[in-house]
Amino acid sequence: MQSFAPAHPTPPPPAEPPIRAGSPGRAEATSFGPPPVFTVVCVSHRPDVLERWLLPSLRSQPQEAYEFRLIDSRTRPARSCAAGLNAGAAGARGRYLMFVHHDVAWDDPNFLADVAARLDQVPNLGVAGVAGVEGRAGRPYAVPVNAVLAGERPGMLVGEPITDTRPVEAVDELLLIVPTDQFGAQAFDEAACDDWHLYGVDYCLTAARRGRAVVALPFVVRHRSPGSPDRAFFRTLDHLRRKHRGHARLIRSTVGVWRTGGPDGLAYVCYRCGGLVRLGLRQILAAAYALPPAVLPPAVRRKQAAWVRWRRAVREHASAAAAAADAG
């Protein structure tokens, strides 16, 4: 782990150049000055992504607001993301721990101060995030809470922004905030989350079981890559299903919703089968929409026109994003 705060340069290790939180060419130590509000912890193996996304956002914040702790998995491989983040949180000096992906960014220079003000208003806080999901009575699906700007700048708004702090069932791992004093009693479960997925969902379920508040905060951040489930994701999901089936019927996340009952491997099979069905439907619809409008029923013709408008809007958005990136 490399530990940084905005003061007192320290020499980089001789083997590989470190990823730094301060200005180029300066590493920053955490052991000086008054305690910061946040200890920001990140596991990264891509210094180029870190330099383009998270670090500029941190540098825009007041130096006394945070200390930055990096687990550089190129030089210190972590057995899992939970293990890496637990190591990064050890000895944290901040009042809050912020666990964040290396491809997350924000543009507000008062972001950390505004987030801290919101957190201080939440009684019995367990975990907070900027994107979450909630359930609806009698409905077996996850309802997204808040929005994220996905992809390269300016990004595509995914979801609907909220205007106030809202209770949720789980928050996305792209940015998690936990009170430091609580994390000493409840760290990430390295046994259940032994890969790189769902450690935040597991933490939310455990915190809620202990009577702690799980909330989404009304801040919109940019996220480069939302990712997608793989086989390891569903293996970890089976661990969580066994762990929480005694007190939870459903596990909701920003990726999907699953029942805690049933045999191991069932969720993965359903996901793969559903993917094949969706692929087949997309191919059928694409073939139908390619037909001349005159041969289509009126209802399908209207859908074809809507689909063409949507495709045009996507292309225009991509062109505008590329032009903005070139201008920047």
Residue 261: give its domain's CATH number: 3.90.550.10
Residue 197 vs residue 293, higher pLDDT = 197
Write down the pLDDT at residue 291: 61
- Answer yes or no: is 215 within a domain: yes
Whether the CB-CB separation of 171 and 200 falls below 8 Å is answered with yes
Write down the pLDDT at residue 319: 72
Q: How confident is the model at residue 22 (pLDDT cuts 50, 70, 90)?
A: very low
Write down the pLDDT at residue 328: 61
Residue 233 vs residue 206, higher pLDDT = 206
- Answer yes or no: is 243 within a domain: yes
**Of 13-27, 138-152, 234-248, which gets the smallest average pLDDT?**
13-27
Q: How confident is the model at residue 51 (pLDDT cuts 50, 70, 90)?
A: very high
Write down the pLDDT at residue 223: 94
Write down the pLDDT at residue 31: 43
Whether 311 shows a pLDDT value over 50: the answer reads yes
Whether the CB-CB separation of 200 and 131 falls below 8 Å is answered with no
Write down the pLDDT at residue 10: 37
SS3 letters for the chain?
A: CEEECCCCCCCCCCCCCCCCCCCCCCCCCCCCCCCCCEEEEEEECCHHHHHHCHHHHHHCCCHHHEEEEEEECCCCCCCCHHHHHHHHHCCCCCCEEEEECCCEECCCCCHHHHHHHHHHCCCCEEEEECCEEEEECCEEEEEEECCEEECCCCCEEECCCCCCCEECCEECCCEEEEEHHHHCCCCCCCCCCCCCCCHHHHHHHHHHHCCCEEEECCCCCEECCCCCCCHHHHHHHHHHHHHHCCCCCEEECCCCEEECCCCCCHHHHHHHHHHHHHHHHHHHHHHHHCCCHHHCCHHHHHHHHHHHHHHHHHHHHHHHHHHHHHHC
- Answer yes or no: is 278 within a domain: no
Write down the pLDDT at residue 180: 97
Write down the pLDDT at residue 75: 84
- Answer yes or no: is 12 within a domain: yes
Please provide the average confidence, as pLDDT, over all residues in the chain. Answer: 81
- Answer yes or no: is 289 within a domain: no
- Answer yes or no: is 93 within a domain: yes
Whether 113 shows a pLDDT value over 60: the answer reads yes
**Of 77-86, 98-107, 145-154, 158-167, which gets the smallest average pLDDT?**
145-154
- Answer yes or no: is 62 within a domain: yes
User: Which range of residues forms the domain containing residue 264?
Assistant: 2-268
Write down the pLDDT at residue 256: 85
- Answer yes or no: is 324 within a domain: no
Write down the pLDDT at residue 126: 97
Please compute the mean of the pLDDT values over residues 171-175 and round it to a whole number.
96
Please compute the mean of the pLDDT values over residues 201-214 and round it to a whole number.
97
Q: How confident is the model at residue 262 (pLDDT cuts 50, 70, 90)?
A: confident
Q: Which range, 10-14, 136-140, 245-249, has the best average confidence (pLDDT)?
A: 245-249
Please compute the mean of the pLDDT values over residues 284-310 and round it to a whole number.
66
Whether 306 shows a pLDDT value over 90: the answer reads no
Please compute the mean of the pLDDT values over residues 143-148 and round it to a whole number.
90
Q: Give the chain's domain count.
A: 1
